[in-house]
Amino acid sequence: MSKTAVLLITCPDQKGLVCAIANFLFEHGGNILHADQHQDAELGLFLMRVEWALEDFALDFSQIPARFDPIARRLGMQWRLAVSSHRPRAAVFVSRQTHCLVDLIYRYRAGELACEIPLVVSNHPDGRWIAESCGIPYHQMEVSPGQKEKVEARQIELLDEHRVDLLVLARYMQILSPTMASRFPNRIINIHHSFLPAFSGARPYHQAYERGVKLIGATSHYVTEILDDGPIIEQDVVRISHRDGVEELVQKGQDLEKVVLSRAVRWHVENRILVYGRRTVVFS
């Protein structure tokens, strides 16, 4: 696959935006492979993702920011540039339930996720077998009462040592502190086992069963300082019936959790997500 670059843009909606971006790429010999855009009429915002081939592009990748910046300043753009050859380093955090961890490692080994997984962090030993069988270091750190701050400080040291770009909470049943959440803004992806905003917090399957719902869901979202309130990346649902008990809800829900989390991780590492306010745009 040829080396490509991706430009993600958010700016006030105005005439000439697409023309300015396309002309910049054309003037330097860029061949656009994918382009997608969205206008938020209520907020007056324009959001765009454009991907182009770097083969025959006149600028070296390192030269692009300086050349594009005058255009961005003139049009009031917030923008981010990425190259397809860069594989983000994703640390996976997990507790006792390992179904999402196993799925992520399988997809990673199968080449479905364009990232590296340099380590797994857990407060339980349950996931050690899958991580170490695939040669991924497994760091077990129990979170005892009153020790959360100390444990998180060590976790941050580990993440820095491994140059981690992204945290994936694959059913990590610990609430991250504001310090941890703010250190990785829009770079911590959580899977919540319900269709948010319904049934946030603990034991959502039990809440759903007690409420007698006919659909259950799973939600992947970016983590913020407020529990289960970050921008939503992906959701999916499955139908249930009055015959299903809590165990059946959990079984059906776990299948959803794996798919919804892996989609969110894939879209993030492929630079397909733009966050604005409490929302996301996910470009196809």
E strands present in 3-83: 4-12, 31-40, 45-53, 78-83
Residues 153 and 273 in one domain: yes
| 60: Cβ contacts below 8 Å, ≥ 6 apart | none
Last residue of a domain, one of 83, 103, 133: 83
Sign (positive or negative) of CA dihedral 93, 95, 100, 101: positive
Last residue of a domain, one of 83, 109, 124: 83
Residues 270 and 151 in one domain: yes
What are the tens digits of pLDDT across the range 26-43?
999 999 999 999 999 999
Residues 182 and 159 in one domain: yes
What are the tens digits of pLDDT across the range 231-284?
999 999 999 999 999 999 999 999 999 999 999 999 999 999 999 989 999 999
Residues 145 and 17 in one domain: no
What CATH number should be reported for the domain holding residue 229?
3.40.50.170
The strand order across the sheet containing 232-239 reads 138-140, 120-122, 90-94, 166-169, 188-192, 215-222, 232-239
Number of independent structural domains in the chain: 2
Average pLDDT, rounded, for the chain: 94
Q: Quick one: pLDDT at residue 51?
A: 97
| 111: Cβ contacts below 8 Å, ≥ 6 apart | none
Residues 53 and 139 in one domain: no
Q: Which amino acid is at 80?
A: R
What are the tens digits of pLDDT across the range 114-167?
999 999 999 999 999 999 999 999 999 999 888 889 999 999 999 999 999 999
CA dihedral of residues 195, 281, 264, 175 (deg, nearest 10): -60
Last residue of a domain, one of 51, 83, 115: 83
Residues 154 and 32 in one domain: no
CA distance 25 to 51: 10
- Quote the tokens at residue 204: 């959502």
3-state DSSP assignment of residue 136: coil
Residues 188 and 236 in one domain: yes
Residues 114 and 129 in one domain: yes
CA distance 111 to 115: 9
What are the tens digits of pLDDT across the range 162-219?
999 999 999 999 999 999 999 999 999 999 988 877 777 778 888 888 889 899 999 9
Residues 246 and 111 in one domain: yes
CA distance 178 to 176: 7
3-state DSSP assignment of residue 198: coil
Residues 31 and 162 in one domain: no
Residues 113 and 25 in one domain: no
What CATH number should be reported for the domain holding residue 44?
3.30.70.260
Q: DSSP assignment of 232-255, as one string? A: EEEEEEEE--TT--HHHHHHHHHH
pTM: predicted TM-score of the whole model, two decimal places = 0.94
Residue 94 has pLDDT above 60, yes or no: yes
E strands present in 119-165: 120-122, 138-140
**56: annotated active-site residue:** no
E strands present in the chain: 4-12, 31-40, 45-53, 78-83, 90-94, 120-122, 138-140, 166-169, 188-192, 215-222, 232-239, 273-276, 279-282
Domain that holds residue 62: 4-83
Out of 40, 56, 126, 228, which one is annotated catalytic?
Answer: 228
Residues 78 and 130 in one domain: no
